[in-house]
Structure 1
């Protein structure tokens, strides 16, 4: 047991040295572009967790929901009275239910105007562009326009982008990209989404 403890201590000392070196090398302070993508569950949930964190410190936050805005959202229900939170919702809900490209494009363009204002506001510390990846995939938004707004945003502002199949240009711009991978999903086995757990 003593040998194992000695090896463990030596291993932890090496690990601490590597972590300390990375911490010392991280000297730049600025806002980030974070992407939560992949076919797994939890991309929007993770973004709302960061919204809660930022609000907890008293920062101003903007959330734009491009797809699930008409769904119930427990996080939004809990946080919407916070004076530092602004939420803009695309009025049409799921695009596969409307099946109207013209109406969906117009609704997307309208809510994108709200997003552009948030992205230009130096007082907004965090902006979440929830499910914006679909807007780019379906051609409702132009990638060049989105990239320009991200590039011109205030230096201290962080943006979280969520949705499957994140555009390669956004991935190239991002500071952190997390791909959530589905191993198993209850819905695929006939289990309904659960209030307070899934939404």
Structure 2
């Protein structure tokens, strides 16, 4: 490891623009996309801001760690799906759930009552063709100017990346699955 001297001067200019709602995309094949989005939700909630989380692949009855904590904190989190497609018994029904879920999430974004709306794992139904890309892009362009929207999932389309204010690509460098270690509660839930 090479050591570096700590900076003593700011190395970037201070932004001069107006504060506004942002579009933040967490994508890539690495782990941490949802976790990063939940961290933003917690940060906003900690500042007294209204936050709503939608999970496009989780069932409404899901009780993962984030559901338990968000419930304790009073952050609404809603499962809109019926699980990952390899667990689904009816893909047409999964598509219908995604479409209905998108209408619900879009209405929340457009209402402007929330500082932040998280659209967790929205890239799956988008990439499956269950939600039209143009509908998402239009919603993001036309949303009230103070609303922040966080979108997560692998393979974000170029059009969404172009529209977003901040895009983070999670890249897997090493993963315990590759060593045969299974998912663990409190880490992957």
Tell me which residue corresponds to 1:189: 179
Counting matched residue pairs gives 185
* Matched residue SS, 1:40: coil
Q: In 2 relative to 1, CA 117–86 (structure 1 residues): closer, same or farther, beyond 3 Å? A: farther
* Matched residue SS, 1:37: strand
1:2-151 equivalence runs, <5 A: 12-13=7-8, 16-19=9-12, 22-23=13-14, 25-69=15-59, 71-83=62-74, 85-98=75-88, 100-151=90-141
TM-score by length of structure 2 reads 0.90
Distance 1:90 1:81 in 2: 20
Would you say the 8 A contact 2:62–2:79 is kept in 1? no
Q: List gaps (5 residues or longer) in structure 1.
A: 1-7
Q: CA deviation at 1:47?
A: 0.5
| Consecutive aligned runs of 4 or more in structure 1 exceeding 3 Å deviation | 68-72
Would you say the 8 A contact 2:58–2:81 is kept in 1? no
What are the Cα deviations for residues 23-47 of structure 1, in whole angstroms up to 9, with x where unaligned? 1x33221010001100001000011
What are the Cα deviations for residues 113-171 of structure 1, in whole angstroms up to 9, with x where unaligned? 22012111222000111011111110010001111111111101111110000011110
CA RMSD of aligned residues (A): 1.9
Q: List gaps (5 residues or longer) in structure 2.
A: none
Q: CA deviation at 1:71?
A: 4.8
TM-score by length of structure 1 reads 0.86
Q: In 2 relative to 1, CA 18–133 (structure 1 residues): closer, same or farther, beyond 3 Å? A: same
Specify the structure having the higher radius of gyration (Cα): 1
Tell me which residue corresponds to 1:4: none
